[in-house]
Structure 1
Amino acid sequence: MIEKRAFDTLGRFRNDWLNARHHFSFGGYHDPERMGWGALRVWNDDEIAADGGFAPHPHADMEIITYVREGAISHRDNLGNAGRTMAGDVQVMSAGSGIRHSEFNQEAETTSLFQIWILPRETGGEPRWETARFPAGERTGQLVVLASGDPDRDGGLLIRQDAKVLGATLEAGQSVSHPLKPGYRAYLTLAIGNGTVNGIALDARDGAAIRDEDIIKIEATSALELVMVEVPE
């Protein structure tokens, strides 16, 4: 089963510095049919204006993965972490027992990113943050693990859930396949470009909610960039 989530059907929020679309219920957007997808709770498509950002605020018991599509985002938290994550790269914040952080666009241009929240396998634990580079050239024609519950096995940054966050870039005509584990669901979004997922057409920034499929096959109609999560039911 694959359910297409067209970009123009997503929840919306806008103020003077943030233009956001919500794949799932979030903030003032509530859709009882879109409360999450397995352990995936939030997938926000955010455009943050220059000098805009999220002032210091708290989180607990959530794995928050940020995939930067354009520009860069600068992180600071009460643990003393500070860093800048650039386009194509990823940061992970494991909120654990509690963390307070800010995220600002300190660039001269708009920053666009995906913010993905995954429920942890258990609550509590020491909060943590890290970022890593994932050059687009190393993802050409293949799915690369960006974050995982077992980085020693899979690669990528550590998240506290038996899940994977994967990314790929495909040229027109290329395809990539991924076996979906029994008892798991997947959610996929195209950052740029057009393609098909098991024959279902997607445009840039559309989503696809996937379950009960043995194989997920993504074919590029044009050059595309994609992010996909695989999470337990």
Structure 2
Amino acid sequence: MIELRPFESLGGANHGWLDAKHHFSFASYHDPARTHWGALRVWNDDTIQPHTGFPPHPHRDMEIVTYVRSGAITHEDSLGNKGRTEAGDVQVMSAGTGIRHSEYNREDEETRIFQIWIIPTSQGDAPQWGAKPFPKGERSGQFVVLASGHEQDGDALPIRADARVVGATIRAGETVEYALGSDRKAYLVPATGAVTVDGQRVNARDGAAISDLETLSVTAIEDSEIVLVDIA
């Protein structure tokens, strides 16, 4: 089953410095049919204006993955971590027992991110943060695991969830497959371009909620960059 969620149907709010679109219920946007997808709780599509950002604020017991689509985001937290994550790269924050962090666009251009929240499989663990570059060339024509709660995905950033966050860049006309398993769910969003998923078109920034599919077949209509979350 594939449920298409067109970009135009997403909730959201424009705060001036932040233009946020929500694939799932978040903040003042509530849709009882879009509260989560398996353990996936939040997928926000954020555009942050230059030299603005999120001031320090707390989180706990949530796995928060930030995929930078353009520009860069600068992170600081109460553990003393600091880092700048550029387009195509990923950062992960396991909030655990509690952490305060800020996320600022300190660039002279807009920054665009996907921020993805996944419900952890355990609570009360120590908070942690990490970031890693994933050059897009490594994802050419294939899926690469960016963050994972599975030990066999050793090169991926660790998360405390039964989930994987994967990315791929696909040239127009190319097809890639992802072995999901019919007992799992996936949520796929093209950051750029347009693809078909088992024959159904998904445009840039649309969401596709996927279930009951053993293997996903994704074909690029245009050169595309896609992000997918595989969850229980």
Please classify the TM superposition score into its range, dividing by the shorter chain length: over 0.9
Q: Deviations over 1:6-26 (max 9, x none)?
A: 000000111120001000000
> Which structure 2 residues correspond to residues 193-212 of structure 1 after superposition, within 5 A?
193-212=193-212
Quick check: 2:182–2:211 contact (8 Å CA) kept in 1? Answer: no
Q: Deviations over 1:105-142 (max 9, x none)?
A: 00000000100000000111000000000000110000
1:79-158 paired onto structure 2 within 5 Å: 79-158=79-158
Contact persistence 2:181–2:212 (CA under 8 A): no
Secondary structure at the aligned position of 1:42 is classed as strand
The aligned counterpart of 1:17 is 17
Shift of 1:155: 2.8
Tell me the distance in 2 between the aligned counterparts of 1:126 and 1:165: 21
Q: Deviations over 1:73-95 (max 9, x none)?
A: 00000000000000000000000
Runs of 4+ in 1 over 6 A off after TM superposition: none
Report the alpha carbon displacement of residue 210 of structure 1 after superposing the two structures with TM: 0.3
Counterpart amino acid of 1:33?
A: A
Q: Output the CA distance in 2 between the equivalents of 1:146 and 1:196.
A: 22
**Aligned-residue offset at 1:152:** 4.3
Preserved CA contact (<8 Å) 1:145 1:154: no
- Unmatched runs of 5 consecutive residues or more in structure 2: none
Map 1:169-208 onto structure 2 (within 5 A): 169-208=169-208
| Residue 153 (structure 1) shift | 3.4
Letter in 2 for 1:231: I
**Which residue of 1 is the match for residue 221 of structure 2?**
221
Aligned AA for 2:33? E
Structure-2 separation of matches of 1:115 and 1:201: 23
| Pairing 1:33–2:33 present | yes
CA contact (8 A) 2:169 2:223 kept: yes
Q: For 1:152 and 1:212, locate their aligned partners in 2 and report how far apart those are by CA, in whole Å.
A: 24
Shift of 1:154: 4.9
Q: Give the count of matched residue pairs.
A: 232
Paired with 1:76 and 1:91, the residues of 2 have a C-alpha distance of 12
Contact 1:95 1:128 in 2 (8 A): yes
- Aligned partner of 1:44 in structure 2 is 44
Q: Quick check: 1:38–1:185 contact (8 Å CA) kept in 2?
A: yes
Note closer, same or farther for the CA distance 1:201–1:182 as it changes in structure 2 (3 Å cut).
closer
Aligned-partner residue type, residue 170 of structure 2: L
Separation in 1 of the partners of 2:186 and 2:153?
20
* Counterparts of 1:89 and 1:11, CA distance in 2: 26
User: What is the deviation of 1:201?
Assistant: 0.4
Query: What percent identity do the matched residue pairs reach?
Result: 56
Asked if 2 retains the 8 angstrom alpha-carbon contact of 1:162 and 1:231, the reply is yes
SS in 1 for 2:138: helix
Q: Kindly indicate whether the alpha-carbon contact (under 8 Å) linking 1:151 and 1:157 is maintained by their aligned counterparts in 2.
A: no
Q: Conserved in 1, the CA contact under 8 Å of 2:70 and 2:111?
A: yes
TM-score of the superposition, structure 1-length normalised?
A: 0.98
| Whole-Å separation in 2 of the counterparts to 1:153 and 1:138 | 15
Q: What are the ranges of 5 or more consecutive residues in structure 1 without an aligned counterpart?
A: none
> One-letter code of the match for 1:28?
S
| Amino acid paired to 2:83 | G
* Root-mean-square deviation (Å): 0.8
Instruction: Say whether the 8 Å CA contact 1:43–1:114 is kept in structure 2.
Output: yes
Task: Say whether the 8 Å CA contact 2:145–2:153 is kept in structure 1.
Answer: no
SS of 1:195's partner is strand
CA contact (8 A) 1:39 1:118 kept: yes
